[in-house]
Amino acid sequence: MVGKKNVGQFLGLDGCFLKGQFKSDLLSAVGRDSNNQMYLVQWAIVEVECTDSWAWFLNLLVVDLDLKNGFGFTIISDQQKGLKIAINDVLPKVEHRNCARHVFVNWIGRKKAKCYEFDFWEIVKATTEREREDKVEALTKER
């Protein structure tokens, strides 16, 4: 684990399966530096990815980075098992956002149409609420 390095106000959380002799899960947190480069902040190997594992991991992160209740920070993730509940319990004031690529993959699977991809990414890239609303409105009128 890393000491109190300045991680800015953005953290990405992810988990993945570890295969081999000892089956387990790897949890990780990454940050972005002033050059917009990603770097590893914290990692842990857990028996299984679940709410308790994520809560334990997040509690360590809170202590190491002095996050307190998470106010002023944003966490991005791709809907790992138990993570949303753990974030709400451990960091109640943090902004939690889902990875757009994962949202799109889930969304396109239900729509069964690749033709929405351009429109989806135009909406995601909107920089103001009004711009996003205009693009959503245009998409609904178009379809």
117 and 94 Cβ atoms separated by less than 8 Å: no
**pTM of this prediction exceeds 0.85:** no
- Residue listed under structure tokens 């570890």: 18
Mean per-residue pLDDT pooled into runs of 10, the chain (143 residues) = 54 90 92 87 94 96 90 85 90 86 70 70 87 85 67
According to the model, what pLDDT value does residue 5 have?
46
pLDDT computed for residue 34 by the predictor:
81
Helix axes 117-124, 129-142, angle to 10 degrees: 160
Q: How many whole angstroms separate alpha carbon 40 and alpha carbon 27?
A: 11
pLDDT at 4: 45
User: Mind listing the domains of the chain with CATH numbers?
Assistant: 10-98 (3.30.420.10), 101-142 (no CATH)
**Angle at CA of residue 104, ends 99 and 114, nearest 5°:** 155
- Extended strands (E) in the chain: 10-18, 24-32, 38-46, 74-77, 95-98
Strand, helix or coil for residue 45: strand
Residue with tokens 């949303």: 84
C-alpha distances out from residue 134 to 10, 101, 115, 129, 138, Å? 27, 21, 19, 9, 6
